[in-house]
Structure 1
Amino acid sequence: MLPQPSEDMWKTVADTFNTIWNFPNCLGAIDGKHFTIQAPPNSGSQFFNYKKTFFIVLLALVDAHYNFVAVDVGAYSKNSDGGIFAKCNLGKALQNNSLSVPQHAPLPRTDMEAPYVVVGDEAFPLKNYFMRPYPGRELHNSKRVFNYCLSRARRTVENAFGILIQKFRIFTRRIQAKPENVDYIILAACILHNFIKKYDTNTYNYPNANFNNVPQQQVHQNLPMQGGNATADAFQARELFTEYFSSEIGCVPWQDEKV
């Protein structure tokens, strides 16, 4: 089963993200994965996207060890990941602060109080609980460092999707099932993924991804400018993490080489 949200669980997830990925106060990485399905009868364009293919979307929040913490399955692929997130139960619960998320906590070895956040790519909005990269081409070094640190943490969700598809080969081809059954197939696979990772380390013998090297194209140096919906608290939270990652306490030795 997927874990039951609690304050202790979130603190454990955040501690692990800091230990492995050097991103403190992180509740997980989130992204959407599109699964190809056969054309549903009488569906019109509901599941039809710009690629002229029918998809169902899995929106997933993943911890530092590639476990699925929370998922939302069944959205139509014509919707953006950010739009799906805003409308799904997980997005609403984070917005309403109803997931037992801990209060602000100091960043490691500092007295800088920072919120607990999830991390995602440029498809998602900037919130005081959601960190996305800085947009634009000409960025100050500290902002490039932040984008790099965020990319290292965010790649966990991409890795989790890769592991899921590698393990459950049904996802490598068009799924021949009704959309409501596809939802159950994807949800069951996510639960089995967590179960197998926990009890069969030989089958899931994947490294903890203690990687220092993030390819330059993943550091988001050429992002579209975001809209003006972010609040002052959201910008302040991102600036706080930016300052921390560029400080002597919060930096990692190799980051300047990667940006």
Structure 2
Amino acid sequence: MEEVLLWSIFACCIVKKKKRLEHIRGSVRSKWSRKWLLKRRDFSHIRLLSELRDEPNDWRNYLRMDMDTYIYLLELVTPHIKKENTCMRAAISPHERLTATLRFLATGRSYKDLEFTTIISKQSLSEIIPETCEAIYKVLKKDYLKFPKTEEEWMEVAAEFERMWQFPHCLGSIDGKHIRIVPPKGSGSYYFNYKKTHSVVLMAIANANCEFLYCDIGTNGRISDGGVINNTQFYEKLVNNELKIPKPRSIGSSNRVLRYVFVGDEAFAMRPDLLKPYRRETFTRDRRIFNYRLSRARRVVENSFGILASRFRIFHTSINLKMHNVDTVVLACCALHNFLRRKSPQNYTPPESMDQENISECTVQLGERCNPELVHDLQRGPRGHMLNNANGVRDHFKEYLNNEGSVPWQDRFITLNNEWRT
């Protein structure tokens, strides 16, 4: 009886397996792709690009860079994104891969929408774009997103801040921004921030030329105050004195010895090596002047974020990608920002894109800043923690900037701007 039962079960399994195989055979696609996707040479935007060669302004608007810069970038990334043809189909060329990626970053369009202009399937774009972004970041970060590693390199950064913004011994301007995302399924409120959107935080340090020295992306938006900096490798090395920051020294002909510092806003806890403004309720004339001078140095990172979001409209959307791909896309944009700032600054960042300070009229004309609903600031917390000697370091800078380090227009500027805020 048992033997008959076993044979019945075995026969039943054979029948089910046979039906499953028949179902699979019946579902095999009869063609590789939809017919119109096979006509990429006829319909793709690549044909449009060939026409735009004679229209430099339109080419720049389309890919966010001039043709010479694009060709140079293509040469850099081609070894990392080139695929071999097979006996079954021709590979998508590096030119098509890079232009599709740049259009995605420049417009923020969905893969499905981009499919109709690139004539590349949505499934292929979902692999091509993250891969190309990773290649862009890989080839550019060494030369264009370089973090200082020696005292000499830090001093070059500080010299530029003093030359351009008259703030001595400044090693960089620090700020963080929330980058909106479509949260992963099942993430709940993990990425939910104080602006009632879902986001990850981009923490960055900018130099005097509005270029990023350091970028960290990935901290969830739920950590919405300055404490987000604690999750970065930069802060860990800063606390452990591993950044090779120059030792305090005098400034020019002055006998006053000042530390080398970073500057930030009220979102951060102040340290001896990270200065932030005085609070408004403690204002005196000297403190207002310090805040004004600090703000001139700190605004470079605000400009950097503003230009980044203006040129790459992906930041005007809620980025709908896997989380590791979100990080890759943001870092690629930051690397491209620095690359374009150096290769074609007049096209990428014309003068009107920067904050313009009118010294004679004591006014500031803001350049391209971020819409607060798109890429918004970290939440400003309460007074926050302050290390014991941090206040003394800030007071030393205040005294210097009000005496031998003063600039002729600072008193007039704060007098005509009674509601001045940093």
Q: TM-score normalised to the size of structure 2? A: 0.57
**Equivalent in 224, 235, 239 of residue 391 of structure 2:** 235
Greater helix content: 2
**Equivalent in 392, 406, 410 of residue 251 of structure 1:** 406
| 1:113 has 2:113 as partner | no
2:270 corresponding residue in structure 1: 126
Q: Which runs of 5+ in 1 are unaligned?
A: 216-222
| 1:157 has 2:301 as partner | yes
Quickly say closer, same or farther: Cα 1:205–1:71, change in 2 above 3 A.
Answer: closer
| 1:226 has 2:383 as partner | yes
Shift of 1:35: 1.1
Q: Does structure 1 conserve the Cα–Cα contact (< 8 Å) formed by 2:225 and 2:381?
A: no
**Equivalent in 158, 162, 165 of residue 18 of structure 1:** 162
Q: Does structure 2 conserve the Cα–Cα contact (< 8 Å) formed by 1:21 and 1:210?
A: no
Question: Aligned AA for 1:21?
Answer: W
Q: How is 1:1-259 mapped onto 2 (pairs within 5 angstroms)? A: 1=141, 2-5=145-148, 6-207=150-351, 209=355, 211=357, 212=359, 213=362, 226-227=383-384, 229-247=385-403, 249-259=404-414
Shift of 1:225: 6.3
Taking the aligned partners of 1:225 and 1:36, their CA distance within structure 2 comes to 24
Taking the aligned partners of 1:20 and 1:162, their CA distance within structure 2 comes to 19
Alpha-carbon deviations, 1:24-59, whole Å to 9, x = none? Answer: 000010111111111211111111113321111100
SS in structure 1 at match of 2:177: strand
Shift of 1:109: 2.5
Q: Does structure 2 conserve the Cα–Cα contact (< 8 Å) formed by 1:39 and 1:54?
A: yes
Q: Which has the higher contact order (CA 8 A, sep 6+)?
A: 1
Taking the aligned partners of 1:50 and 1:120, their CA distance within structure 2 comes to 20
Q: Could you tell me the percent identity over the aligned residues?
A: 41
SS in structure 1 at match of 2:242: coil
Taking the aligned partners of 2:314 and 2:178, their CA distance within structure 1 comes to 13
Alpha-carbon deviations, 1:60-92, whole Å to 9, x = none? Answer: 000000000011101111213421112211111
Taking the aligned partners of 2:281 and 2:222, their CA distance within structure 1 comes to 28
Quickly say closer, same or farther: Cα 1:4–1:132, change in 2 above 3 A.
Answer: closer
Taking the aligned partners of 1:38 and 1:255, their CA distance within structure 2 comes to 45
Q: Does structure 2 conserve the Cα–Cα contact (< 8 Å) formed by 1:36 and 1:175?
A: yes
Quickly say closer, same or farther: Cα 1:202–1:140, change in 2 above 3 A.
Answer: closer
Query: What count of residue pairs does the alignment treat as equivalent?
Result: 251
SS in structure 1 at match of 2:178: strand
Taking the aligned partners of 2:198 and 2:147, their CA distance within structure 1 comes to 32
Shift of 1:257: 1.9
Taking the aligned partners of 1:46 and 1:101, their CA distance within structure 2 comes to 35
Q: Does structure 2 conserve the Cα–Cα contact (< 8 Å) formed by 1:56 and 1:179?
A: no
Shift of 1:209: 5.0
SS in structure 1 at match of 2:280: coil
Taking the aligned partners of 2:343 and 2:211, their CA distance within structure 1 comes to 13
Q: Does structure 2 conserve the Cα–Cα contact (< 8 Å) formed by 1:80 and 1:123?
A: no
1:218 corresponding residue in structure 2: none
Range 197-206 or range 121-130, more displaced? 197-206
Shift of 1:224: 7.8
Question: Aligned AA for 1:179?
Answer: M
Q: Which runs of 5+ in 2 are unaligned?
A: 1-140, 365-379, 415-422
RMSD: 2.0
